[in-house]
Chain A
Amino acid sequence: MREMISMIVVLTLLASVSGGLLAAVKSGTELRIEEQVLKFQKAPAIESLFSDVTNDPLKERFTLETGDRTLQIFPGKMKDGSLAVAFETSGKGGYGGDIGLMVGINVDSDQLVGARVTTHAETPGLGSRAKDDLTFVSQFNSKPLDSNLALKADNGSIDAISGATVTSRAVTRAAIQAQELYSQLKPEILKQIQ
């Protein structure tokens, strides 16, 4: 009986102390990690999406509130004079958790500029191709905003990466979420960038 109690007490104490410690470290590093993600994940994705903009989308970023989340919006002025925005959504249900997707949308023509995968923890060599091999995400290029961005297997218009259907589906979920967010936020976005 005594042994039983000491087992329970020791394990409970250890687990709660380490939980507290981790919470402290997490909140201590949160801001810096956000900065690093912006620099090493979001910035390259935006640069590759907006390869011919005349402004600096990173410097001109602003935030919008939608329901329970704040969304960072990166505005871009294209060479042909049209305006575009990029923002990041996350697709639930990848193999290694949520998959971040930076989606660029041309505000004047209501077309997608494109999409790039940012943060993910998918299997190297399989799901990670969603990020490393641009042929998959380039299917989003210049799609009209009202097109069905689900996988072809789900009656949509996007071909899945062979061998990585779960990852591909999570990416399309992020793209569909971007469509929804954009249609909600369009009036506010227009107000901000004009």
Chain B
Amino acid sequence: MAHSLATEFTKGLWAEIPPFRLVLGLCPTLAVTKSVENGIGMGLATTFVLVFSNLLISLLRNVIPPKVRIACYIVIIATFVTIVELVMQAYTYPLFLTLGIFIPLIVVNCIVLGRAEAFASKNTPVLAVADGLGIGIGFTLSLAALGAVREIIGAGTITIWGGNPVFAVGDWYHPFSFMVEAPGAFVALGLMLAGMNLIGKK
């Protein structure tokens, strides 16, 4: 367990990047990545929950009795998820409307509980925060990348936080709307997984 801070942080960005390497947390990955904006919003919400639940669980790791540890983790995680939900409702209401039911579902996201059980409960708070931040940012980047692929192919544009598209393919392009439907999520994820494996093999 003598890993340095930097390795704990960076492993979440490539070696253990959640949806691609660990193939965990696929429910939000597939459901909300219709656009880059949704992917980033979901990723940031999950990152917030990961960092704070990791910190608290790591601080309390010697206090929490082993037999009820899962119940304790769920209480802690659910608290932070509810805070995220309330803050989102207060400040980014349109995003809250599109993410809807998937925000409360962060509670049962296996990435969050997985990091709590596998890492935070055995390591110091500083390492736990680095781990949560790394995995969270990796998750956000993955969702944004998947969202970008689906939005570009499916809609031909990328729009972030209202206003004009920040990127447009051009008028000659006919949007392939299959990619923003649910089946398109599986196809896009499969192709990206294949690409990641191809790069990793070298």
Q: A3-B67, A32-B91 are in contact. Are A25 and B72 (CB under 8 A)?
A: no
Q: A22-B79, A36-B93, A121-B101 are in contact. Are A10 and B87 (CB under 8 A)?
A: no
Partner among B63, B65, B83 whose Cβ is within 8 Å of the Cβ of A25: B83
A40 surroundings in chain B (CB, below 8 A): 93-94, 97
Q: Is B90 within 8 A of A33, CB to CB?
A: yes
Q: A7-B67, A22-B82, A124-B100 are in contact. Are A36 and B75 (CB under 8 A)?
A: no
B55 shortest CB reach to chain A, Å: 14
Interface string of A23-49 (1 = CB under 8 A from B): 001100100110011011000000000
Question: For the complex, what is the distance from the CA of A18 to the CA of B78, rounded to whole Å?
Answer: 9
Does A70 count as interface, using CB distance less than 8 angstroms?
Answer: no
Q: Is B101 within 8 A of A124, CB to CB?
A: yes
Q: Is A32 within 8 A of B90, CB to CB?
A: yes
Interface size on B, residues (CB 8 A): 23
Does A14 count as interface, using CB distance less than 8 angstroms?
Answer: yes
Question: For the complex, what is the distance from the CA of A121 to the CA of B99, rounded to whole Å?
Answer: 12
Partner among A18, A96, A124 whose Cβ is within 8 Å of the Cβ of B75: A18
Give residues 77-105 of B contacting A (CB, 8 Å): 78-79, 82-83, 86-87, 89-91, 93-94, 97, 100-101
Q: Is B65 within 8 A of A7, CB to CB?
A: yes
A32 surroundings in chain B (CB, below 8 A): 90-91
B83 shortest CB reach to chain A, Å: 5
Q: How many A-B residue pairs have CB under 8 A?
A: 56
Does A11 count as interface, using CB distance less than 8 angstroms?
Answer: yes
Task: Pick from A22, A32, A36, A37 the residue with the most CB of B within 10 Å.
Answer: A36
Does B71 count as interface, using CB distance less than 8 angstroms?
Answer: yes
**Residue on A with the closest CB to B91?**
A32
Does B118 count as interface, using CB distance less than 8 angstroms?
Answer: no
A10 surroundings in chain B (CB, below 8 A): 63-65, 68, 72
Question: For the complex, what is the distance from the CA of A32 to the CA of B92, rounded to whole Å?
Answer: 11
Task: Pick from A18, A22, A32 the residue with the most CB of B within 10 Å.
Answer: A18
Q: A21-B79, A40-B97 are in contact. Are A11 and B68 (CB under 8 A)?
A: yes
Q: Is B71 within 8 A of A36, CB to CB?
A: no
B76 surroundings in chain A (CB, below 8 A): 14, 18
Q: Is B86 within 8 A of A26, CB to CB?
A: yes
**Residue on A with the closest CB to B83?**
A25
Give residues 47-65 of B contacting A (CB, 8 Å): 63-65
Give residues 12-69 of B contacting A (CB, 8 Å): 63-65, 67-68
Question: For the complex, what is the distance from the CA of A11 to the CA of B63, rounded to whole Å?
Answer: 10
B57 shortest CB reach to chain A, Å: 11
Does A6 count as interface, using CB distance less than 8 angstroms?
Answer: yes
A37 surroundings in chain B (CB, below 8 A): 93
**Residue on A with the closest CB to B63?**
A10
Give residues 120-146 of A contacting B (CB, 8 Å): 121, 124
26 contacts across the A-B interface (CB closer than 8 A): A3-B67, A7-B65, A7-B68, A10-B63, A10-B64, A11-B68, A11-B72, A11-B75, A14-B72, A14-B76, A15-B75, A18-B75, A18-B76, A21-B79, A22-B79, A26-B86, A29-B87, A32-B90, A32-B91, A33-B89, A33-B93, A39-B93, A96-B101, A121-B100, A124-B100, A124-B101
Identify the A interface with B (CB < 8 A).
3, 6-7, 10-11, 14-15, 18, 21-22, 25-26, 29, 32-33, 36-37, 39-40, 96, 121, 124
Given A14-B76, A22-B83, A25-B86, 16 other A-B residues pairs in contact with their CB atoms under 8 A: A3-B65, A7-B65, A10-B64, A11-B75, A15-B75, A18-B78, A22-B82, A25-B87, A26-B86, A29-B87, A29-B89, A33-B89, A33-B90, A39-B93, A40-B93, A121-B100
